[in-house]
Amino acid sequence: MQGIWLPLHGYSFEDTPCGPASTCFRLTAGFLIMGPLSGYLSDRYGARAFSTAGMLVTAAGFGGLLLVPTNFVYPAFALAILVIGMGMGMFVSPNTTAIMNSVPAEHRGASSGMRATFQNTANTISITWIFTMVTIGLAAHLPAALFQGLTKAGISSQCCHPGGQPASHRGTFRGLPRLQPDEDPYTSSGTSKPAAASQALLLGKTFFLT
């Protein structure tokens, strides 16, 4: 939302941090709606069914995000976020109750501490894995994509080094396209574009969304 969707819909980059923050309210709202309700129902009908249903609903919400395109329709995106929050709220309360009921009363304090420790550790590890996968994906595909975009925008292919292809690029982003200082970056082989027009293209929303 902050890097692509909001700028595409006329928001300045100074205002874009508020958009993703407002989306988090829908996640919290879903959690607040289903958390107490699921806890009440699980006390009457058992925790296993509601915990399982909560995981399935959360997975369905993430599946809905996979179907959302880059330039998405906002109600569909907000609905997927709300479903994820409801699934998480449906899962947490009965799952915590089941854990606490499975241990003797004299050990519930230690059990609660261990549950919180494992939950926080899992959250930290999951964030680490997410950024690791994103970095690996960017290192593999971003340099070549930038090279193709720059050449299509009219910059000479001799001015850029296509990233992700030479084996000598051992750093994560060392394969990014680089302009050579001794060449005209706004001239491609066989064609020529005015510097002002090419610069406007590269600095406009069409190419880099900035």
Q: What is the 3-state secondary structure (H, E, C) of the chain?
A: CCCCHHHHCCCCCCCCCHHHHHHHHHHHHHHHHHHHHHHHHHHHHCHHHHHHHHHHHHHHHHHHHHHCCCCCCHHHHHHHHHHHHHHHHHHHHHHHHHHHHCCCHHHHHHHHHHHHHHHHHHHHHHHHHHHHHHHHHHHHHHHHHHHHHHHHCCCCHHHCCCCCCCCCCCCCCCCCCCCCCCCCCCEECCEECCHHHHHHHHHCCCCCCC
The model's pTM: 0.63
pLDDT tens column, 68-117: 888 888 888 889 999 999 999 999 889 888 888 888 988 888 988 998 89
Please indicate, yes or no, if residue 125 is contained in any of the structural domains. Answer: no
- Does pLDDT of 148 surpass 90? no
pLDDT at res. 117: 92
Q: Pick from 145, 186, 179, 182: which is nearest to 163 by CA?
A: 145
Same domain? 160 vs 73: no
Same domain? 96 vs 11: yes
Please give the residue range of the domain that contains residue 156: 141-203
Please indicate, yes or no, if residue 117 is contained in any of the structural domains. Answer: no
Please indicate, yes or no, if residue 89 is contained in any of the structural domains. Answer: yes
pLDDT tens column, 13-57: 777 777 677 777 888 899 999 989 998 888 888 888 999 999 999
Packing angle of the helix pair 47-67, 74-101 (nearest 10 deg):
160
Same domain? 169 vs 82: no
Among 71, 102, 133, identify where a domain stops: 102
- Does pLDDT of 124 surpass 70? yes
Residue type for position 168: S
Same domain? 98 vs 9: yes
Per the prediction, the chain carries an average pLDDT of 76
Same domain? 72 vs 159: no
Same domain? 160 vs 83: no
Q: Structurally, how many domains does the chain consist of?
A: 2
Please indicate, yes or no, if residue 15 is contained in any of the structural domains. Answer: yes
Please indicate, yes or no, if residue 26 is contained in any of the structural domains. Answer: yes
**How far is residue 188's CA from residue 160's CA, in Å, rounded to a whole number?**
11
Please indicate, yes or no, if residue 148 is contained in any of the structural domains. Answer: yes
pLDDT at res. 159: 61
Please indicate, yes or no, if residue 145 is contained in any of the structural domains. Answer: yes
Most confident range (mean pLDDT) of 133-137, 195-199, 202-206 is 133-137
Of the candidate ranges 105-109, 136-140, 159-163, the one whose mean pLDDT is the lowest: 159-163
pLDDT at res. 169: 41
pLDDT at res. 198: 55
Of the candidate ranges 3-12, 94-103, 151-160, the one whose mean pLDDT is the lowest: 151-160
Cβ proximity of 90 and 34 under 8 Å: yes
pLDDT at res. 61: 94
